[in-house]
A = this chain, B = another copy of it.
Amino acid sequence: MSKRKLNVALIGYQFMGKAHSNAYRQVARFFDDLEVEPVLKVICGRNEENVRKAAQKYGWEEYDTSWERVIERKDIDLVDVSVPGNMHAPIAIAAANAGKMVLCEKPLANTLADARQMYEAVQKNKVPNALCHNYRFAPAVQLAKQLIDEGRIGKIYHFRGTYLQDWIVDPSFPLVWRLQKEVAGSGSHGDLNAHLIDMARFLVGEINEVSGMMETFIKQRPKLAASDDRLGGVASSEMGEVTVDDAALFLVRFDNGAIGSIEATRFALGRKNFNRFEINGSKGSLVFNMERMNELEVYFNDDPPHARGFRVLQASDSMHPFMSAWWPVGHIIGYEHTFINLVYTMLKAFDRGEVFKPDFEDGVRNQAVLEAVDISSQQKRWVSISEL
């Protein structure tokens, strides 16, 4: 009658820690058919006071300040890696070597070399592994995938992805870890383009070659005094170098002949979480925007000629992916639900011994594209993914 328990250790307690905690806490409260129930066993972070508060606030049974210690615990089934990118590889590899299931935040790593080692580790140890590209798990995105698979969009010609934000336009915004290359790996590129690349691969197919450019508009910022549980923090009076890109754009050719453009920036005033893509195919078009994540715009060319137009679907009805677990149609869900839907899908797959996508293999593929764009940007030429 009662569900099997699965003990989770969460490494990281900031913005992603908050979102992941919520997912584990909520998933079994909504998804009836999930036969396993995650237990919020231990949360881990370096700052003891902060991690203790996080454990209490988010409902974790225990906290720890050593991820090595946590990974050694026999009672832990799944390790969730929600720390900055430079720590993904050591933690995830250790977890894999310890035979744990691993969920890792995106991007998988700060370098392709790291990503490949992580992939090897989960392969070698045969541990279930997952990459946290939560946006795949918006119902409207799953519906987009379904419509493509049904053939309603036809052969895809164009993918047009932009991920626009504006939280660092102000030059006095502090130098948070997301703006430091040694921690974050890159700026808008790894943070935002990683999502678009994963989305493009999910919906269109593998990427063949890219030509890109990157730009840092504000080159110095005040160093950080203290961070918050969102994206910002308190500025100090000392200045430091911004070592990542503020914006990154690239053109792309897919293996299947489709072409596209992908752009990430944190300098688009008025755009808050404008993760938007448009797909044009031989039979129809699709538009999605995370700011209105409960909607999907769809154009079908086989509608009667006088009655064709972009439909705004409310992807929140009971027949839409994940939505029978939630609320009646039009009673929308939010950002956090993408994580819960992901965790549901992941736990069900792991429980059944099935592969969950996206996994570390996707992480490697996404990372290869990110890195190809980086090279292209430096060398001012097209770079084929097969070069890497």
Which secondary structure dominates where chain A touches chain B? mixed
A253: Cβ under 8 A from any B Cβ? yes
B269 & A280 in contact (Cβ 8 Å cutoff)? yes
**CB of A265, distance to nearest CB on chain B (Å):** 6
Contact B309 A314 (CB under 8 A): yes
Say how many copies of this protein the assembly contains: 4
Structural contact, A259 and B215, CB atoms closer than 8 A: yes
Residue contact A270 to B247, C-beta cutoff 8 Å: no
User: How many angstroms between the C-alpha atoms of A181 and B211 in the bound complex?
Assistant: 26
Tell me the chain A residues, 277-314 only, with Cβ under 8 Å from chain B.
Answer: 278, 280-285, 290-296, 298-301, 303, 305-314
Knowing A307-B298, A308-B313 touch, does A25 contact B15 (C-beta < 8 A)?
no
Flag if B272 contacts A59 (CB, 8 Å): no
A273 touches B331 (CB 8 A): yes
Question: Does the CB pair A269–B281 fall under 8 Å?
Answer: yes
Shortest distance in angstroms between A202's beta carbon and chain B's nearest beta carbon? 19
Known: A280-B267, A281-B269. A309 touches B318 (CB 8 A): no
Residues of B within 8 A of A310 (CB): 270, 311-312
Q: Once the chains are docked, how many angstroms separate the CA of A331 from the CA of B217?
A: 25
Instruction: Tell me if A332 is interfacial: C-beta within 8 Å of chain B.
Output: yes
Contact, CB under 8 Å: B251 / A270: no
Tally of A interface residues using CB under 8 Å: 100
Closest Cβ of chain B: how far from A46's Cβ, in Å? 21
A87 at the interface (CB under 8 A from B): no
Does A165 belong to the interface (CB within 8 Å)?
yes
**A274 lies within 8 A of chain B by Cβ:** yes
Would you give the 0/1 interface string for A20-33, flagging 1 where the beta carbon is closer than 8 Å to chain B?
01100110110010
Whether B270 contacts A299 by the Cβ 8 Å rule is: yes
Bound together, the chains give a CA A247 to CA B28 distance in angstroms of 37
| Cβ contact within 8 Å between A306 and B319 | yes
**Contacting residue for A143 out of B265, B271, B306, CB 8 A:** B306
